[in-house]
Amino acid sequence: VAGVIVLSNSTSVFALTNGVRQVQLVVDALTEEEANAYFDRYGVLNSDEEDRALRRRIVQDDTAIIGILEKYAEIYEGTTGDAAAKRAAAEAMFDERAVEADTDVEKLLKFGRGVEKGSEFDVAEMRKLVKMLLDAATPEDGVFDTDLDLPTAKRVAPVLAEYPALRYNPDTSRYYWYETRHRRAAERFKRAKSPLLRP
């Protein structure tokens, strides 16, 4: 089961941002099986195969965080019309969140442009972190901060708060994607051979 801790930006060394993510701190997300059980429990996206296909996309390519799944359920249940209309509303939310993730990752990759080496960060350091997370054999395990030539977690915190594609867990000393959708966005940049991923 997912764990959620409520913190403020002033006390957290995790990346927290506006809206839903400002009050939800991910400790662990639901498994795909648990997410499907949640949707089944509330009768969300289970009317036909198209519904179930969108459900898989949400869990595998967006997030399995319970708070966001609740938002999908609210959109689905709150939309009038048949199953197709409800699915379209949920899919619009999926697409909107994917675009938002692209923007989050783009901002992160552009971070530090023009910043001198030795300052808080520079762009090469941040891109190195993104590349290591992309290359991680098991993304859910994250990347140890000891494997990186980056400033201390305390100095990282305000940066991640401003560029919410990543989070840092001081208990595990690892960096993670904030949500699966951010990893998918970075993968799109990689497939497109974006110059933003060059050193």
pLDDT, tens only, 109-164: 887 544 444 455 566 777 888 888 998 888 778 888 776 666 566 666 677 777 78
174 sits in which H/E element: strand 174-177
Q: What is the pLDDT of residue 19?
A: 39
Task: Give CA torsion, residues 84, 97, 1, 16, to 10 deg.
Answer: -160
For strands 174-177 and 143-144, give the pairing.
Answer: antiparallel
The mean-pLDDT minimum among 11-15, 186-190, 192-196 falls in 11-15
**Cα 63 to chain centroid, rounded:** 7
- Of the pLDDT bands very low, low, confident and very high (cuts 50, 70, 90), residue 99 is very high
- Of the pLDDT bands very low, low, confident and very high (cuts 50, 70, 90), residue 198 is confident
Q: Which residue type sits at 75?
A: I
pTM summary value:
0.78
Using DSSP, state whether 176 is helix, strand or coil.
strand
Q: What is the pLDDT of residue 130?
A: 87
**Percentage of the chain modeled with pLDDT above 90:** 38
**Percentage of the chain modeled with pLDDT above 70:** 72
Say how far apart CA 52 and CA 182 lie, in whole Å: 22
